[in-house]
A and B are shown apart, each in its own frame.
Chain A
Amino acid sequence: MLLRMRDVSKNLGPERILQGISCALDRGQSLAIVAPSGVGKSTLLSIAGLLLVPSAGDVVIDDRETACQDDNERSHLRATKIGFLFQHTQLIGSLRAIENVIVPARFAPTATQKLSKIEIAERAKKSLTALGLEDRLYHYPHQLSVGQKRRVATARALFLCPALIIADEPTNDLDDANAHTVVEALFRRVRSGDAGLLFATHEKRLAKQADTILYL
């Protein structure tokens, strides 16, 4: 199983954000989390992405129990198994588009160890070109539109071909064309059978494309 969460709860101080959430996702599948704002979608994604430790419950990633893993092991799993597409693109302002895409490779050297720097750059170019950004490879984030930034962030999330893709509101603030490009790129990976997609959205039309919908 790629991702399994069982009876996951999360308290932040005295406040209980999540309670008893269970779900599962395998390669080739997609799971949409639908909820109004402030209910805990991002918290649940953070727990699934090993950014947060649940107050109770288990999280299994690629058949590995994560409860007793230390920070280094969790970091390693994030680097090698998970690709994040954040609600705000989180591109690094001092890096060009192509350099932003390559960032995950810095922390997962095993994923690219057989590739030279030139090959890694070629791969990043290919990813950006596939998303229609061939003429924006060397632009800085501040020189890109919202839609272009989201596409660069998508290329970064998919760069190391992660088994688990986690996307938080992937089409937020995007026009139809950009939204279609991003969603298509994410689902293409799922359809290939190599990855599972967990995403949060408040758009019912997008949620319906998922194999499973989890309402919070």
Chain B
Amino acid sequence: MHRIQTIAVILTTAVSITAFVALLLLYGGMQRGVALAKERGGAQVLVVPRQATEYLTDADLLFTGVAAPVYMDSGMVEQIANIKGVKRVAAQFYGQTLAESCCSTSNEIRIIGIDASHDWLIGPFASYPIDQGLGTDEVLIGRNVSGFESGSGSLLGHKVRVVANLEPSGTDLDNAVFMNIDRLRELVAGTAQLQHFWDTYGSPQKLVSAILLDYEEGQEPYIIKNKIEAQGVRVVERSQAVADSTRQLQVVFAVMLVAGSILALASLLQFIARFYSLVWERKSEMALYRALGATRKNLKVVIGGEALIITGTGALCGVIIGLLLFQVMFSFTQSASAFPFTALPPWTVAGGVIAICLVFFCFAACAIVMPLRQVNRLDPATVMQQVDIG
């Protein structure tokens, strides 16, 4: 019976800590992603063809590296640049990798062609100076992109060399590969699997996928936005999209936090019940220990030790399962969702995990206060009268 109760407390502790660890890492990662996205700037506005939103959400475009075959005439760049109130523009051309041997990546991700001479977005994330432009075989790699660990690889059947890994941004930059816009246009034009796009939209040399821009200060954003949209394109405001995504996540987090708190409360009550019964049900055993020479301090060490072992085992299991659960949830949010998300640095993770464990050890400490008082009242002489405890 004792073993079953003890295992139940360990499991409850483990489940609660699992929930808290996974929540901490997810929420912390999201917060960091949002903070980084804000801190490192980026364009205020992303302009994409109107039809892009038929199969891609704003968040997909802003925060993931999913392939985005959306195209519009490159003349749109100049038209938008000439709108009053637009401070600066940068054009991007989207290609994509193929899940074939032509590419080092294992799945289809976005390749973004950039015009380095007009770029103010990618540079801050790269340790490599790109203002002189990228060479035809040079690429920049987002933090979450794999397949280029050796420093080189292939894209659409051509060898490329990694000149820099971008710092984490919490946005689509983390999940994409960047190269010279003209070189990318050449590569996609020669890729048979992408030919149907050019049959639809025309030669890639005359296309762009997205235009990033900032407003001039003091201008009314909604007026400029209306003027841009009048060109027949879709305007995605980054700050709004970030806020929407954050709000969604916060709701999910709040629900999970309530569930986690209920679990924590259940753990606390279980601790109190378990540790109280630990002494109450084993009063005879404790009295026997006293009769055999145990001091009150010895018994307190026994009770405290059991509490420590139960809590420690639960905490260890909870932390391990929590980290594994986080990995699963991380992959899920990366692949199936579109949130600004950046993994927390190890020391932050360690600090958070330690803090959660400390809270549970405090729970255990609170729960053994009463049992320790009971020990003080135990009379060793009762062992002479009590019936057999075995």
Q: Give every chain A residue within 8 A of B2 (Cβ-Cβ).
A: 94
Interfacial residues of chain B within 289-303, with CB under 8 A of chain A in the complex? 289-298
Which of A76, A78, A80, A142 contacts B390 (CB under 8 A)?
A142
Which of A43, A76, A92 contacts B293 (CB under 8 A)?
A76
Measured in the bound complex, the distance between the Cα atoms of B294 and A108 in whole Å is 8
Query: A75-B295, A103-B289 provided; 4 other pairs, C-beta below 8 A?
Result: A84-B383, A90-B386, A106-B289, A149-B388
Measured in the bound complex, the distance between the Cα atoms of B293 and A51 in whole Å is 10
Interfacial residues of chain B within 62-112, with CB under 8 A of chain A in the complex? none
Q: Which secondary structure characterizes the binding site on chain B?
A: helix
Which of A51, A94, A106 contacts B380 (CB under 8 A)?
A51
Interface pairs (22), CB distance under 8 Å: A42-B385, A43-B384, A46-B381, A46-B384, A51-B383, A76-B293, A78-B293, A79-B292, A82-B293, A84-B291, A84-B292, A88-B386, A89-B388, A91-B388, A91-B390, A100-B390, A104-B293, A107-B292, A107-B294, A141-B390, A142-B390, A149-B388
Interfacial residues of chain B within 351-390, with CB under 8 A of chain A in the complex? 380-381, 383-390
Q: Give every chain A residue within 8 A of B381 (Cβ-Cβ).
A: 46, 51-52
- Judge whether A168 is part of the interface by a CB distance below 8 angstroms: yes
- Judge whether B285 is part of the interface by a CB distance below 8 angstroms: yes
A107 touches B293 (CB 8 A): yes
- Judge whether A93 is part of the interface by a CB distance below 8 angstroms: yes
Q: Give every chain B residue within 8 A of A100 (Cβ-Cβ).
A: 390
Among B289, B384, B387, max chain A CB count under 10 A is at B384
Q: Give every chain B residue within 8 A of A93 (Cβ-Cβ).
A: 389-390
Closest residue of chain A to B386, judged by CB? A88
Residues in A lying within 8 Å of B, measured CB to CB: 42-43, 45-46, 49, 51-52, 71-72, 75-76, 78-80, 82, 84, 86-94, 100, 103-104, 106-108, 140-142, 149, 168
Question: B80 to chain A: closest CB distance in Å?
Answer: 78
- Judge whether B288 is part of the interface by a CB distance below 8 angstroms: yes
Q: Give every chain A residue within 8 A of B294 (Cβ-Cβ).
A: 75, 79, 106-107
Measured in the bound complex, the distance between the Cα atoms of B381 and A168 in whole Å is 13
Q: Give every chain B residue within 8 A of A87 (Cβ-Cβ).
A: 384
Closest residue of chain B to A84, judged by CB? B291
B292 touches A103 (CB 8 A): yes
A86 touches B289 (CB 8 A): no
Total A-B pairs, Cβ < 8 A: 84
Given contacts A107-B298, A141-B390, contact A90 B289 (CB under 8 A): no
Q: Give every chain A residue within 8 A of B386 (Cβ-Cβ).
A: 88, 90
Measured in the bound complex, the distance between the Cα atoms of B390 and A149 in whole Å is 9
Interfacial residues of chain B within 272-291, with CB under 8 A of chain A in the complex? 284-285, 288-291
B292 touches A104 (CB 8 A): yes
Q: Give every chain B residue within 8 A of A80 (Cβ-Cβ).
A: 293
A89 touches B384 (CB 8 A): no
Measured in the bound complex, the distance between the Cα atoms of B90 and A75 in whole Å is 83
Q: Give every chain B residue within 8 A of A94 (Cβ-Cβ).
A: 2
Question: B9 to chain A: closest CB distance in Å?
Answer: 16
Q: Give every chain B residue within 8 A of A45 (Cβ-Cβ).
A: 384
Measured in the bound complex, the distance between the Cα atoms of B389 and A142 in whole Å is 10
Residues in B lying within 8 Å of A, measured CB to CB: 2, 284-285, 288-298, 380-381, 383-390
Closest residue of chain B to A47, judged by CB? B381
Question: B241 to chain A: closest CB distance in Å?
Answer: 60
Question: B379 to chain A: closest CB distance in Å?
Answer: 8
Q: Give every chain B residue within 8 A of A71 (Cβ-Cβ).
A: 295-296
Question: A3 to chain B: closest CB distance in Å?
Answer: 17
Q: Give every chain B residue within 8 A of A149 (Cβ-Cβ).
A: 388, 390
Which of B285, B290, B384 contacts A92 (CB under 8 A)?
B285
B293 touches A108 (CB 8 A): yes
Measured in the bound complex, the distance between the Cα atoms of B45 and A74 in whole Å is 81
Question: A33 to chain B: closest CB distance in Å?
Answer: 13
Question: B334 to chain A: closest CB distance in Å?
Answer: 48
Q: Give every chain A residue within 8 A of B390 (Cβ-Cβ).
A: 89-93, 100, 140-142, 149
Given contacts A51-B380, A51-B381, A52-B381, contact A91 B389 (CB under 8 A): yes
Given contacts A51-B380, A90-B383, contact A78 B388 (CB under 8 A): no
Closest residue of chain A to B288, judged by CB? A90
Measured in the bound complex, the distance between the Cα atoms of B2 and A141 in whole Å is 16
Question: B292 to chain A: closest CB distance in Å?
Answer: 5
Closest residue of chain A to B388, judged by CB? A88
B293 touches A90 (CB 8 A): no
Measured in the bound complex, the distance between the Cα atoms of B381 and A103 in whole Å is 18
